[in-house]
Amino acid sequence: MGANNGKQCGSEGKGSSSISSDVSSSTDHTSTKAPKNAATSEDSDLSMRTLSTPSPALILPPSSSPLPPPALANGSSTSSSSITGETVAMVHAPPAGLIRPQARGRPLKDQQAPVDRLPDHIFLQIFAHLPTNQLCRCARVCRRWYNLAWDPRLWRSIRLTGDLLHADRALRVLTRRLCQDTPNVCLMLETVVASGCRRLTDRGLHTVAQCCPELRRLEVAGCYNISNEAVFDVVSRCPNLEHLDVSGCSKVTCISLTREVSLKLLPMHGQQISIRYLDMTDCFALEDEGLHTIAAHCTQLTHLYLRRCVRLTDEGLRYLVIYCPSVRELSVSDCRFVSDFGLREIAKLEGRLRYLSVAHCGRITDVGLRYVAKYCGRLRYLNARGCEGLTDQGLEHLAKSCPKLKSLDIGKCPLVSDAGLEILALNCFNLKRLSLKSCESITGRGLQVVAANCFDLQLLNVQDCDVPLEALRFVKRHCKRCVIEHTNPAFF
């Protein structure tokens, strides 16, 4: 890339160069004019770039090895500035086409690499399978790849990973580039996944909220610096948002269209949030009042996961059922204050409920399970592991009222015995997954009844159960596709 390259590119930015800035700096990129009396045309090219593309170093963690710097005609090389241990956000222009000297008597077409002969639509199909950081790498290969890599159809989603990644800077630079054709708006971007990017803050989500009005899916699991303010920005500016995962964001206590948790729907005159899938697992600070606000604003919820939201009580579930009657999947595992009264409220969801997890909710007994069994006859999945108050009587109500049950986990329920297991097997023929881990009262007799009636069984967990070897072999003979998880060293 020497003087000839600069002459050919002329008005298009003169050659190939890179402008890099440290993530810790807040200075925005501005182009500078080239000095009139530069020593070489390549030196002047390095300061004349106007178009830009994010470097893969923006998205890769610091341990990733960068691409080797391009060699200059005089043997020197250009490289982007970086600081050890820091991820650097770099902005690059579309590379100029490499000029290959044409051999005498040979047409230029014969000098092309085989990959260069592929049509554009094949390239687009290949690029569609690349992650975000690799797309940025491809954009630096040549001018044709640059134009293809930034085809808007390839940028319906952005996926960032890495504990040390400067996610705020990455989102800012990527959205700026994607807004080049439609100023200040990324009309094609529908999905942003930044789960595990622990350095992501409210500033990064504010950028997404401002630039991505068509956003439909946002996953920021484990980003513990995210707060209610950032979530408010996203849900209020992205009216099409349907999928939100804020699991592990311990600062998030509310999702609403108002900045104050105590304010319900009045300030927005009945406006609703279109979220259907919400995962708030490990949001330890969530309380009943926050769940009340969420339910009042997110009335279209169908999937809600509140695992280990330890401050929730039966009162919060009452609010949920009042405002969100369409919930199909609900998890309140490890919510130790949820009791039979909470299950009575959940049972009001009736036939719409398909999935329910109340694992390790120690206050739940046969009474609560009877409510669910009576009114939620279309239940397909139930996880009641660790609910030590459940007995054969509760299992009988469940088996007779929910015959289409496909998955059941009653591990660590010491009061469940072979009698309850036999009733389950005689009523739930479609059972595919059954966990009896650490059920001390289960013996081989109960397992044989299950194997003789549930031919479609695919997974059976009998770890830490006193089950004889003959019973395990019986299950294996009758349920050919069943995977048996056990702790019997003699069975293999």
Apex 422 CA angle, 415 and 384, nearest 5: 45
Sign (positive/negative) of CA torsion 243, 230, 300, 271? Answer: negative
- Compute how many other C-beta atoms are within 10 angstroms of the C-beta atom of residue 183: 6
The confidence band for 106, taking pLDDT boundaries of 50, 70 and 90, is low
CA distance from start to end of the chain: 65
Residue 115 confidence (pLDDT): 82
CA atoms within 13 A on the CB side of 82: 23
- Cα(360)–Cα(386) distance, rounded to whole angstroms? 4
Model confidence, pTM: 0.78
The tokens describing 102, both together, are: 């044409």
Q: Where are the alpha helices (DSSP H) in 251-310?
A: 288-297
**Torsion angle defined by CA atoms of residues 218, 221, 222 and 223, in that order, rounded to the nearest 10 degrees:** 10
Degrees (nearest 5) of the Cα angle 241, 246, 250?
A: 145
Mean pLDDT of 142-167: 89
Phi/psi for 468 (5° steps) reads -70, 160
Could you read off the pLDDT of 174-197 as tens digits, one per residue? 998 888 877 778 888 999 999 999
Residue 491 pLDDT:
82
**For 186-305, where are the E strands, in sequence order?**
191-193, 217-219, 243-245, 277-279, 303-305
8, 40, 134 from 11: Cα distances, Å: 9, 17, 29
pLDDT digit string, tens, across residues 377-416: 999 999 999 999 999 999 999 999 999 999 999 999 999 9
Residue 28 pLDDT: 38
Distance, CA of 379 to CA of 423 (rounded, Å): 17
**CB of 135 within 8 A of CB of 154?**
yes
Strands in 349-487 per DSSP E: 355-357, 381-383, 407-409, 433-435, 459-461, 483-485
pLDDT recorded at residue 167: 92
**Cβ count within 10 A of residue 297:** 22
pLDDT tens figures, 206-237: 999 999 999 999 999 999 999 999 999 999 99
Task: List, for residues 447-485, the tens digit of each pLDDT value.
Answer: 999 999 999 999 999 999 989 999 999 999 999 999 999
Neighbours of 85 (CB within 10 A): 8
Cα Rg of the chain, angstroms: 30
Owner of token pair 């054969």: 392
